[in-house]
Amino acid sequence: MCRLHLAGIVALAVLLGESACKTETTLADYPCPPGGTTLTYDTFGAAFLGQSCQTCHGQTDGARKGAPDGYDFGTLAAVRAQKERIFARAAADNVTMPPGPTDPPAAEREKLAQWLACGAP
């Protein structure tokens, strides 16, 4: 009986793959580059957030598609106040947001990580 139980655990681990063991990359894990960043809210942040976040997080109650109230990223001040949460969900190798088939490419997530790590200028 123990062998069957162990075999089931091993099979489940294989099915879940590496994602079950991955830990979230945090903003503290991703320092701003020594030279800073050329990315700004105007040149990067507003467009990224508008396309990838605000389609849910910036809508009225009926059109939020499950996005929790209080998490709107339509202003630079709001982004700075929530930068750790935004990073944990959408920047670097964190890919839980946005959900769905139109995920931002890895290069854009890296830009988001850099921009947030440098204080979202």
AA identity, residue 46 = A
Angle, nearest 10°, between helix axes 83-90 and 106-117?
Answer: 160
pTM of the model as a whole: 0.79
Per-residue pLDDT at 101:
82
pLDDT, tens only, 57-95: 988 878 888 899 889 988 999 999 999 999 999 999 999
Q: What percent of the chain has pLDDT over 90?
A: 63
Per-residue pLDDT at 21:
55
- What count of other Cβ atoms lies within 10 Å of the Cβ of residue 26? 13
Alpha-carbon dihedral of residues 84, 87, 90, 92, nearest 10 degrees? -160
Asked which of 6-10, 38-42, 88-92, 99-103 is least confident by mean pLDDT, the reply is 6-10
Average pLDDT over residues 13-29: 65
Paired tokens of 97: 């947001």
Query: ∠ at Cα 79 (44, 113), nearest 5°?
Result: 55
Give the chain's end-to-end CA distance (angstroms, integer).
59
Asked which of 14-23, 41-50, 67-76 is least confident by mean pLDDT, the reply is 14-23
Per-residue pLDDT at 22:
61
